[in-house]
């Protein structure tokens, strides 16, 4: 009997030691071991300790449909163990009957501990799920912003570069103006990208040390930088004014990293950039503009930006009409461009068919959905229309 008892104790503690590794296996193994103990071994302290662990484990990991059968088995098994096989613990079965409520109270305490552990596990799982969803949403937001910024700037750069290439032979001054517009567009987009990607930086990157002022000598052993004090190339001296303008523009792009995201006040500048890129844009705003939050302002800006970018990309230098209507229930953004009459920046491939629905339009739908609005696309033969309806905040 002692050998059987030793084997049973070793098996029970083995199951207890792996309860976190294989919780489902232990959920079945511990009740089976307790049933074997009740059938072939007298009741002892080891059996009571294993029963307490079993109650904790069942309360934490067992399916809810097991709760009632588990307690029925525990009550019947405890009463039988104390009254029929409690010779090792008590002298009289009557005493075992009086000890049963105490045993139930102790086992109920371990059961409640298991239920608390179950609740903590669910809370941690819910937190992990929310964190994962938040990470997915943030990645989607960053991808959407990067697409809007990069697609718009590259489309404008390509359009202006093509125009400058064709006009350079006859009007060099116009080509220089196109190059200046390309540089301005690129610096503006660089500033917006820096601002967007700054949220991904480690806080330790911000050491609080201000940048060195212009003209500060570099550290010993540092490479020479053209344009720094004492290292001005000869060919750079003839274009000092242009270099100064470039440096100030570069500093302006750097400070844009900490500027607010574009909103409604930046729409005239956006329209001007689209006009310089070749579109013939008309912009009207009707109704009294209410107090609009920064998020909705950014949404409206990005919708108009993406719509103008798509017009230039797919239709070429055509006429586009941008209209922003305000009402009691919110605002409506409508951007319509004529059908392609010139050379598009990005002609459709032969493999593409059906509606011109890409990442940009998907991003616009996501932005509008965040505010509970709707986005309608009308791809008619005579033009392309985007209508976004945003409810009042």
Question: Is 151 inside a domain boundary?
Answer: no
Question: Is 368 inside a domain boundary?
Answer: yes
From first to last of its 393 residues, the chain has per-residue pLDDT tens of 578 878 888 888 888 888 888 888 888 888 888 888 887 877 777 888 888 888 999 988 988 888 888 888 888 888 777 766 655 555 456 666 667 788 888 888 999 999 998 999 889 888 887 887 777 677 777 777 776 666 667 777 777 676 676 777 677 777 777 777 777 777 776 766 666 666 555 555 444 444 444 443 333 333 333 333 333 343 433 344 344 444 444 444 444 444 557 889 989 988 988 888 888 999 999 999 988 888 889 889 989 988 998 888 888 888 999 999 999 889 999 999 998 755 554 544 444 444 445 677 888 888 888 888 999 999 888 899 999 999 987
pLDDT of residue 137: 73
Please tell me the distance from the alpha carbon of residue 85 to that of residue 61, in angstroms, as a whole number: 29
Which of 131, 151, 176 is at the close of a domain? Answer: 131
Asked whether the beta carbons of 363 and 303 are under 8 A apart, the reply is no
pLDDT of residue 357: 52
Q: Which residues contact 59 (CB under 8 A, 6 or more apart)?
A: 110, 111, 112, 113, 114, 115, 117, 118
Q: Count of domains in the chain?
A: 2
Question: Is 327 inside a domain boundary?
Answer: yes
Asked whether the beta carbons of 29 and 21 are under 8 A apart, the reply is no
Helix, strand, coil content of the chain in percent (nearest 5): 65, 10, 25
| Length of the chain counted residue by residue | 393
* Beta-bridge partner residues of 335: 322, 386
Question: Is 113 inside a domain boundary?
Answer: yes
Which of 131, 157, 188 is at the close of a domain? Answer: 131
Asked whether the beta carbons of 38 and 77 are under 8 A apart, the reply is yes
Q: Give the DSSP per-residue string, 27-43.
A: HHHHHHHHHHHHHHS--
Which of 74, 105, 131 is at the close of a domain? Answer: 131
What residue has token string 């959407």?
Answer: 144
Question: Is 373 inside a domain boundary?
Answer: yes
Name the pTM for this structure.
0.47
Q: Which two tokens stand for residue 202?
A: 């480690």
Please tell me the distance from the alpha carbon of residue 165 to that of residue 110, in angstroms, as a whole number: 81
Strand pairing of 280-286 and 319-327?
parallel
Domain hosting 393: range is 263-347+357-393
Question: Is 213 inside a domain boundary?
Answer: no
- Going by the DSSP 8-state scheme, the letter that residue 260 receives in this structure is P
């Amino acid at each position: 009997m002692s050998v059987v008892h030793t084997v049973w104790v070793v098996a029970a503690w083995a199951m207890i030691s792996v309860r976190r590794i294989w919780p489902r296996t232990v959920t079945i193994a511990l009740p089976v071991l307790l049933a074997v103990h009740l059938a072939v071994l007298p009741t002892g302290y080891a059996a009571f300790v294993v029963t307490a662990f079993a109650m904790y484990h069942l309360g934490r990991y067992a399916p809810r449909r097991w709760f009632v059968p588990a307690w029925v088995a525990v009550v019947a098994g405890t009463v039988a163990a104390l009254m029929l096989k409690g010779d090792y613990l008590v002298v009289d079965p009557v005493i075992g009957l009086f000890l049963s409520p105490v045993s139930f109270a102790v086992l109920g305490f371990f059961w409640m501990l298991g239920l608390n552990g179950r609740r903590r596990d669910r809370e941690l799982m819910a937190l992990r799920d929310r964190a994962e969803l938040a990470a997915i949403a943030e990645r989607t937001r960053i991808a959407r912003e990067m697409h809007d910024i990069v697609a718009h700037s590259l489309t404008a750069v390509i359009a202006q570069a093509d125009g400058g290439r064709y006009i350079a032979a006859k009007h060099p001054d116009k080509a220089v103006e196109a190059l200046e517009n390309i540089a301005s567009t690129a610096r503006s987009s660089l500033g917006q990208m820096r601002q967007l990607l700054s949220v991904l930086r480690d806080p330790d990157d911000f050491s609080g040390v201000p940048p060195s002022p212009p003209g500060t000598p570099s550290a010993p052993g540092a490479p020479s930088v053209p344009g720094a004090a004492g290292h001005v190339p000869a060919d750079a001296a003839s274009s000092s004014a242009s270099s100064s303008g470039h440096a100030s523009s570069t500093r302006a792009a750097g400070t844009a990293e900490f500027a607010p995201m574009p909103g409604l006040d930046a729409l005239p500048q956006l329209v001007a950039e689209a006009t310089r890129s070749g579109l013939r844009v008309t912009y009207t705003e009707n109704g009294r503009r209410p107090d609009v939050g920064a998020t909705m302002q950014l949404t409206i800006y990005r919708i108009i930006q993406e719509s103008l970018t798509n017009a230039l990309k797919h239709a070429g230098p055509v006429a586009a009409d941008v209209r922003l209507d305000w009402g009691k229930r919110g605002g409506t953004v409508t951007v319509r461009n004529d059908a392609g009459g010139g050379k598009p920046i990005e002609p459709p491939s032969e493999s593409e068919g059906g509606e011109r629905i890409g990442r940009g339009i998907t991003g616009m739908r996501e932005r509008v959905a965040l505010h509970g609005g709707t986005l309608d696309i009308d791809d008619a033969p005579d033009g392309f229309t985007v209508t976004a309806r945003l409810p009042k905040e």
